[in-house]
A and B are shown apart, each in its own frame.
Chain A
Amino acid sequence: MPYLFILPCVLFCLILLLYPVIYSLTLSFRQATVDTFVSGDMPFNGLTQYQAALADPVFWRAVIDTVLFAFFSILFQFSIGFLLALLFQANFPLKNVCLALLLIPWVSPVLTAANIFKGLFNEAGPINQIGHLIGLGPIPWLANPAYAFPATIVANIWIGFPFNFILLYAGMRSIPPDVYEAARIDGAHYWQRVAKITLPMLKPVSVAVLMLGTIYTVKVFDLVWIMTGGGPANATHLLSTYAYQVGFSLLNFGEAAAIATLMVLLVLLLNLVQLLLRRA
């Protein structure tokens, strides 16, 4: 009986999860382009796809941008989430309403957020309209690579802060109040209590939040694909959008699969770095 209960799920996993993962890995060692895809035989050609990806400057730019994108997104998502979580430790009227509303950016489809920020950062959009009030000229946010990349990060921070907020909020709630009370009686100020009690006792939750944040942020695709499409001039690609472009626009599935494998290695590496930083 135990096996009957898990059988459908196991079959699904084997056919639609494990098989594609193995397929993707083997594809990265094959020449899979338009010609070979149509004829059906995708010949093995070793590390050629990996060499092609690693020799491409756009790939390296995408690697650096993926890391920067993850770093700044998580830095701000976590900070905003942490401060909100602190504020919401107090009980006040409308708290549950505010809490529910603050979840909306995170549960809404990414497409909605992407289109909103495409509008906000439009050359004639609200951000420049407000800039105009204080005498700034219009800035072509999404047309200029130097601005387009930070603009996508701002949008991603907005999408991700609620997730950090609710997890840190729940983590803080599970700290027993008498610990704070004891510190307060001993004369610790509010921020001293935050630094000496909240932060250390929240560490397991923070670690989980940061790890999940890293995994989710490296995977971001829709947001950047809709906001900039990796452009202008391939300047705002993340590895996800670059791999997609190589696969579905340039129809080089072998190289796209190789980039996908390299992405997985990057996620592992980033989590390893975090682990080492925590140990140190």
Chain B
Amino acid sequence: MNPFEALSRWWITAAAVVITAILLSPFYWVLLGSFMTPAELFATHIVLIPTHWAVGNWSEAWTRLWPHVRNSLIVSAATSIGTLLFTAPTAYSVNWLKPRGRQALFSFMLVTQMLPAIVFVIPLFIVFSKINLVNTLFGLILADMTFTIPFALIMLSAYMKDLPYELVEAALVDGASQLRAFFMVVLPVTLPGLITVGIFSFLIPWGDLIFALSLITEGGLQPLTLELYKAVGQYGIDWAFLLPGSVLTAIPAVLFVIGASRFILAGVTRGAIK
């Protein structure tokens, strides 16, 4: 339904572009601001384009952040893969093999979505302290998976529901085992869903602060978000470091949105509307 039937689509395009630009203007500020000196950033009059591009902000931030970027990459990739390993067979089984107790499992997943992070953070901190998982990336991965697994199972279930089960039956008739059918038929057919869920299961730990803040106190193991969080406060705010760092943190999300917006759109709306 076109809201402005009288107007040409060029006017609607113009309106949409202007509105999008306004809504994204905070990104404009952080992006160009990351190339400004603090003096320019917070001058009396607003500076829209940096007069001298302070590329040094970026190279210094990158040098300081690289070890933390690496930690974040390890944790996010492992969380994403782990989440898919745990949830893909479960989502398939729950939808098509109908194990008993599947309703209970699914309801429990929904309930955990309602619980605030603090419900998990405190027990995990206490228990992990006792079994020496505090200050390990493995502990952080396990903790992040408490966020991603319920969410991934709910989202993947919506994809698995659409699986044409005749394909699996055909494979079974041809003598394949359930396990083989799962790998050869189910996984390839639901690949778009797996990719979408995998992306989200990567981005959630990538942006996590609360678990890293509570479980990782050792500087060398801290992920990107925590290093940037620490840059605020102690000696005032080092904007020349904080702004490029903040942009850097958003890069995977931006890349995924540009590369896979169709997948993301389908994934999000599927889960909530069905």
B-binding residues in A (CB < 8 A): 1-3, 5-6, 8-10, 12-13, 16-21, 23-24, 27, 32, 37, 84, 86-96, 98-105, 107-113, 115-120, 122, 124-126, 129-130, 132-133, 158, 161, 163, 166-167, 170-172, 174, 177, 180, 190, 193, 198, 205, 208-209, 212, 215, 218-219, 221-222, 225-226, 229, 239-240, 243-244, 247-248, 253, 256-257, 259-260, 263-264, 267-268
Contacts and interface: CB of A to CB of B under 8 A. Distances in A.
A257 B94 contact: no
A198 B3 CA distance: 12
A165 B225 CA distance: 27
Given A95-B13, A109-B206, 10 more contacts: A5-B93, A6-B99, A21-B123, A92-B9, A99-B261, A103-B265, A104-B253, A112-B30, A244-B121, A264-B115
A248 B46 contact: no
30 contacts: A2-B98, A2-B99, A9-B105, A9-B149, A10-B90, A13-B108, A17-B146, A24-B123, A87-B15, A104-B254, A105-B24, A107-B253, A108-B207, A112-B249, A115-B242, A116-B26, A116-B27, A119-B243, A120-B26, A126-B46, A170-B269, A172-B1, A174-B273, A190-B3, A208-B273, A218-B116, A222-B210, A253-B122, A253-B126, A267-B114
A267 B113 CA distance: 11
Interface residues of B, number: 100
A28 to B, nearest CB: 10
B176 interface: no
Interface string B14-50: 0111011001101101100100000001111110000
A137 to B, nearest CB: 12
Contacts of A209: 272
Contacts of A221: 116-118, 209-210
Interface of B: 1-5, 9-10, 12-13, 15-17, 19-20, 23-24, 26-27, 29-30, 33, 41-46, 85-87, 89-90, 92-94, 97-99, 102, 105, 108-109, 112-127, 142, 145-146, 149-150, 153, 178-179, 182, 203, 206-207, 209-210, 213-214, 225, 228-229, 232-233, 237, 239, 242-243, 245-247, 249-250, 253-254, 256-258, 261, 264-265, 268-269, 272-273
Contacts of B273: 167, 170-171, 174, 205, 208
A32 B122 CA distance: 11
Contact of B119 (A3, A24, A133, A163): A24
A86 B3 contact: yes
B13 A92 contact: yes
Contacts of A96: 261
B12 A92 contact: yes
A1 B113 contact: no
Contacts of B117: 219, 221, 240
B131 to A, nearest CB: 12
Nearest to A266: B116
A139 B4 CA distance: 40
Nearest to A222: B209
In the A-B complex, list the 5 residue pairs whose CB atoms are closest, starting with the nearest. A109-B207, A2-B97, A124-B42, A5-B93, A100-B261
B168 to A, nearest CB: 12
